[in-house]
Amino acid sequence: MTTQPPTLALVVVDVEVCFAEGGTLPVAGGAAVAAAVTAHLAAHPQRYTRVVASRDWHDPLPGTNDGHFASPGTAPDYVRTWPEHGVAGTPDAEYHPDLRLPAGTVHVVKGMGRADYSAFDGVQLDTLGTGAPRGVLDALAGVEVVEVVGIATDHCVRATALAAAEAGFRVRVLTDLTAGVAVPTTIAALTELAQAGVELTTSTAVTS
């Protein structure tokens, strides 16, 4: 009797223009992550049963992101308050041009009028504004292992991986396919993830 391999999903967190070099909230290495995720998907076309990609997708109306965007005239602290970024409908909120997602990718948007760090707090784009919005969990039916990549390691990747673990998935973060805002918070996040049972590995360790 052969053992079936586990069913895998890849969650690509916030690999969008705003979080890469040249965007409104640039994370060093963001563009390289976009290209590396594309290469990873091309190298492993059969690996994932499901690919989910999230984006920060903040409302364009002034005042709707209070507390997440730094108030006008004040400096963001880059921990809880941020420069204005990822406003829905602007090029800043599009996927990074070096990210190529396969057909069938489930597109999730988050941060509509609030600070959403976890992709699990988002809504599938094609169900946004309907009476029955679907989320990430709906896209992961039957999935056993969730691999998480993207931006930023110390914020939205961290929150997404923790949420996946809490939801009962076996979770891996492919750390070479992530980029962090700052070194101390990235180290703290990786430590917290390991303590939560998330496996920290790299895309080069992936064999199938």
The CA R_g of the chain, rounded to the nearest whole Å, is 16
Q: Which is nearer to Zn ion, 13 or 41 (CB)?
A: 13
Query: Among 18, 110, 121, 154, which one carries the catalytic annotation?
Result: 110
The yes-or-no answer on residue 14 being catalytic is: yes
The yes-or-no answer on residue 110 being catalytic is: yes
Concatenated DSSP letters of 69-100 = BPPTTS---SSS-B-S--BTTSGGGSBPTT--
The yes-or-no answer on residue 156 being catalytic is: yes
Binding residues vs Zn ion (CB under 5 A): 56, 111
Query: Among 18, 116, 154, 156, which one carries the catalytic annotation?
Result: 156
Rounded alpha-carbon distances, angstroms, from residue 17 to 24, 34, 86, 118:
8, 10, 8, 18
Q: Which is nearer to Zn ion, 56 or 147 (CB)?
A: 56
Q: Which is nearer to Zn ion, 16 or 56 (CB)?
A: 56
CB of 121 to Zn ion, least distance (A): 11
CB of 151 to Zn ion, least distance (A): 11
Give the CB-nearest residue to Zn ion.
Answer: 56
CB of 106 to Zn ion, least distance (A): 20
Q: Which two tokens stand for residue 61?
A: 């109306």
Q: Which residues are part of the catalytic machinery?
A: 14, 110, 156
